Structure 1
Amino acid sequence: MYRSILQMISKLFVVLCCLLGVVLAVEKYSDKYDNVDYKMILENERLLLGYSDCLLDKGKCTAEGKAIKENIQEALENGCERCTDRQKQGIKDVISYVIKHYPALWKEITDKYDPEGIWRKKYENFAKEEGIAIP
């Protein structure tokens, strides 16, 4: 009798663990824009400033810009845990490039999305590790 109760409890435990795993599984952001050539955007000042104007509420947004704008706050706060691998690499490249080539823009974006400087330190430390001097 005890054996059957223990078997039932262990089966219930396994089922609960599986359900918990499903609930805790992190849903990724859409990969719809993963193939956007962000390096080309970074190298084209007009495009880069267009995207930054979108993020800073200074201009119109493309569909890609809207998607970034909708998710940027959460992505900053959770270390991009819902990002695809391509998105994570893109974000590292973009942050590095903007800090290095457009420090005033980096400040403006971080002032808007991280006014208390909570997340800025983390990303600036990343930049330093990548050999990027922050002014």
Structure 2
Amino acid sequence: MKVLILLTFVVLASARPDNHYDKKYDNFKVDELVSNSRLLKAYALCFLGRSKCTPEGHDIKRWIDEGTETRCAKCTPKQKVLVAKFIKALMEHCPEEWELLQKRSDPEGKQTDELKKFLDEFAP
């Protein structure tokens, strides 16, 4: 009986779509964030570990390195658009923080070309 319960759990766990980040962020109001330079900078400082994070910022901060390396492979299509908009806003309005984030996430600049393609595709 224990084996049957364990096998059931394994089947259910493998059937769950764990290949994406939490979909609760699919409707994150990124336009409000990127239009507020003070808030945008606060998120950037959170990601850099220089200030406190909101609960959303804390979750997203955990995904930054993996997202950079995989071109946001675990992001839903909506999340890819949100991420691209956020990055473009950082590049434009908080270039110093963007540079620090980029150096932290991709110190050797290996992902620069992929990031450009990602931004061109999801935030043209």
Instruction: Indicate yes or no: 2:50 matched with 1:58.
Output: yes
Point out where structure 2 has 5 or more consecutive residues left out of the alignment: 1-10
Taking only aligned residues, the RMSD between alpha carbons, in angstroms, comes to 2.6
What secondary structure, in the 3-state scheme, does the structure 1 residue paired with 2:25 have?
Answer: coil
Q: Identity over aligned residues, as a percent?
A: 34
Partner of 2:115: 123
Aligned partners of 1:26 and 1:81: how far apart in 2? 12
Q: TM-score, normalised by structure 2?
A: 0.75
- Residue range with higher mean Cα deviation, 111-120 or 94-103: 94-103
- Structure 1 segments of 4+ aligned residues over 4 angstroms from their partners: 125-130
- Residue range with higher mean Cα deviation, 30-39 or 120-129: 120-129
The alpha-carbon deviation at position 28 of structure 1 amounts to 0.8
Aligned partners of 2:121 and 2:25: how far apart in 1? 28
Aligned partners of 1:60 and 1:120: how far apart in 2? 28
Point out where structure 1 has 5 or more consecutive residues left out of the alignment: 1-18
**Conserved 8 A contact 1:38-1:90:** yes
Task: Answer with 1 or 2: which has the greater Rg.
Answer: 1
Q: How many aligned residue pairs are there?
A: 111
Partner of 2:78: 86
**1:129–1:83 Cα change, 3 Å:** closer
**1:70–1:103 Cα change, 3 Å:** same
Partner of 1:74: 66
